[in-house]
Amino acid sequence: MTQTTPQSGTTWFAPEEMDAIRERLPILYVDAVPVRVDPLGLVTAVGLLLRVTGQGAITRALVSGRVLYHERVRSAVIRHIEKDLGPLALPRVPTSPQPFTIAEYFPTPGVTPFHDPRQHAVSLAYVVPVEGDCEPQQDALEFNWFSPAEARQPRLLSEMTGGQDVLLLQALAHLGQ
């Protein structure tokens, strides 16, 4: 049985329905790499969340989440940034955003560098300049800014799971970093 959330009026599936859907269909997601840029547009910092996984592990993560039915991708990117970084994050998302890559997460490890044991998910990945104050929200423990050089460090990358370390490196390469 589906459920309607009172805050937004959107329909969510009950957990057992969502599990059944995940077993049958790829689910569309967005991944966002929050960045700070200088006046010339050069990336000066990359933002990462610190989260607790369902298994109790503490990991670094990108902003990520599902695209809802009848939701524009741009709106999903903004919604997830605001959900994870707060309403004052002030993301600059173009009217027609273009992903820097598409990440395909599989429940079977090794098919691609991206793994999600729950589902087959296709994620459009974006680099998003953020101008405002960022405070961790929802299930995030903290949010930290790292220089591009720090973000490439093996120690930091090892704190990421599911292939998000690969996605972060792809974002940095896309940015010429």
| 3-state SS, residue 106 | strand
The one-character DSSP state at 166 is H
Residue 177 confidence class, pLDDT cut points 50, 70, 90: confident
The answer to the question of residue 3 being in a domain is no
pLDDT of residue 11: 58
Q: Running DSSP on this structure, what letter comes out for residue 135?
A: -
* pLDDT attached to residue 7: 46
Check: CB of residue 85 under 8 Å from CB of residue 77.
no
User: What percent of the chain lies above the pLDDT cut of 90?
Assistant: 76
Q: Is 142 inside a domain boundary?
A: yes
Query: What digits encode the pLDDT tens for the residues 4-52?
Result: 444 444 557 888 888 788 788 889 999 999 999 999 999 999 999 999 8
Identify whether 123 is part of a domain: yes
Q: Structurally, how many domains does the chain consist of? A: 1
Beta-strand ranges (E) seen in 38-118 are 43-52, 58-61, 63-66, 101-105
Phi and psi for 107 in degrees, rounded to 5? Answer: -75, -20
- Answer whether residue 4 is part of any domain: no
Residue 146 lies in a domain: yes
Asked if the model's pLDDT at residue 115 lies above 70, the reply is yes
Residue 82 sits in a domain of what CATH number? 3.90.79.10
Residue 26 lies in a domain: yes
Distance CA 88, CA 52 (A): 23
For residue 125, the enclosing domain spans 13-174
Which secondary structure element, helix H or strand E, spans residue 140, and what is its range? Answer: strand 140-146
What separation, in Å, do the N-terminal and C-terminal C-alpha atoms of the chain show?
47
